Amino acid sequence: MKYVWIGLGWLINHRTLGPPITNWQTNRTISRQIKIAAIISMGGLFGISIFLSVDPRVLLIQGIVLTTVGVFLWRQKEPHAH
């Protein structure tokens, strides 16, 4: 796993994407803004799948996975305001 993070050093050092990753690694926190963006993205993905007439069985699995991830994200602690 160490090598994965070394290979993604550019991502951790990125001005916009780096701070949320660092917050997660050091404090296990996710900001509300990131949570909302992630859940909206997952909803958009699910909507595209419906629009593309994806097999209902796949939609069911996708819906279960996306809902589980969404609940996990939403339940994570948020960083304290400074």
pLDDT at 29 over 80: yes
CA distance 8 to 75: 26
Q: How confident is the model at residue 67 (pLDDT cuts 50, 70, 90)?
A: very high
Q: How confident is the model at residue 9 (pLDDT cuts 50, 70, 90)?
A: confident
- Non-local CB neighbours of 9 within 8 Å, separated by 6+ positions: none
Question: Regarding predicted confidence, which is higher, 81 or 15?
Answer: 15
* Domain ranges for the chain: 2-75
- Average pLDDT, integer, range 55-67: 98
What letter would DSSP give residue 15? T
The answer to whether the predicted template modeling score (pTM) of the entire model surpasses 0.85 is no
What letter would DSSP give residue 28? -
